[in-house]
Structure 1
């Protein structure tokens, strides 16, 4: 098995993004604008191109350079969204960050937690990484449920951390290390053994949400 092998659990699968995915991903992004805009990374320097073909070329170049792993998430073989492993650091850090989006019509089917578990297992296995992080806006309740289900550990509040939806936004940080899941994230979750309180945010860090 290598990083290009598709990974699947039930109806959910992840695979490396391909140039021919551009059309369907562009359609999903444009038809889900109101659903995705509050969580999309933006640039303080101005508008970013929505050219999916160019975006995929850049993602695949990052993959070839060893800096990321760009996945497509699928439900029963249909494209449901994207999951990107980005910011891969080697050597003494051996870590990366996960980001993702899913189309609104596929929400609530367990696609994202399953895909995150699959991708994290690949990163701890074939990719040889030690630590995986997910950073989430306090307002993003759906994403907070993902880390709660999988037992990602809460590690702190990052003020004005990422430029999202036109401004610098606060994020909660969650992480797992390889030692946390010796048998894999997916196996632990499927067995009902993910710690229920690992992602609990302490009162001192909780920010007001709408």
Structure 2
């Protein structure tokens, strides 16, 4: 939690609020959200229901491969952030995916949420590296990574299926050594309102 922003585990009882925010933002999110690729002949690809999604997220969380969160802004559900692909052993890394309600975009909600998640991953979970992969065309999401000081490492061609096709993504990364005092602290110090004091 940081001020008006809370990051907490997703729950079944979030369904009504999650669906309302997601439905209202459908067109705004469509160019950036992962989609299910066409199914092989004889199979039908379907978007999971909210309950199926939460069950899957919980199974992955219980297996230590994922941390599924919702973002609250001023006490209301305002988006989702998932730490996924958690890998242990010699790698100790993960990647973060997120979306936010257009109504609260531009208020520092997403950079703060990512900073909270990264600090949790580095300080509590014990990860060494976190990545964020973003479509080159997604300027607002790229600004989130850049504001937080993630390094741009390169392009992953046709990395994820999004909006009906395989899309290129830029890779941004951060390691624990780069934020010894925490990412949230660095973000607070870098925010424009902090520089005006």
Contact (CA 8 Å) 1:135, 1:174: kept in 2 or not?
yes
Q: Give the TM-score taking structure 1 as reference length.
A: 0.86
The answer to whether residue 7 in structure 2 is matched with residue 14 in structure 1 is: yes
1:130 aligned to 128, 131, 135, which one? 128
* 1:45 and 2:38 matched: yes
Inter-partner Cα distance in structure 1 for 2:162 and 2:47: 15
SS of alignment partner, residue 100 of structure 1? strand
Q: Indicate the larger mover: 26-35 or 174-183.
A: 26-35
Unaligned regions of 5+ residues in structure 1, if any?
1-7, 194-210
Is contact 1:161-1:168 (8 Å) kept?
A: yes
* Counterparts of 2:52 and 2:73, CA distance in 1: 25
**Number of residue pairs aligned between Structure 1 and Structure 2:** 186
Cα distance between partner residues in 2 of 1:189 and 1:29 = 27
Give the match for residue 171 of structure 2.
173
> Runs in 1 of length 4+ with deviation above 3 angstroms?
none
User: Who is 1:67 aligned against?
Assistant: 65
Q: Secondary structure at the match of 1:57?
A: helix
SS at match of 1:59: helix
Alpha carbons 2:158, 2:169 under 8 Å: kept: yes
Q: TM-score, normalised by structure 2?
A: 0.91
Distance 1:50 1:155 in 2: 32
Q: Deviations over 1:38-91 (max 9, x none)?
A: 001012234432411110111111111101000000101100000000000001
CA distance in 2, matches of 1:91, 1:22: 35
Deviates more, 1:182-191 or 1:131-140: 182-191
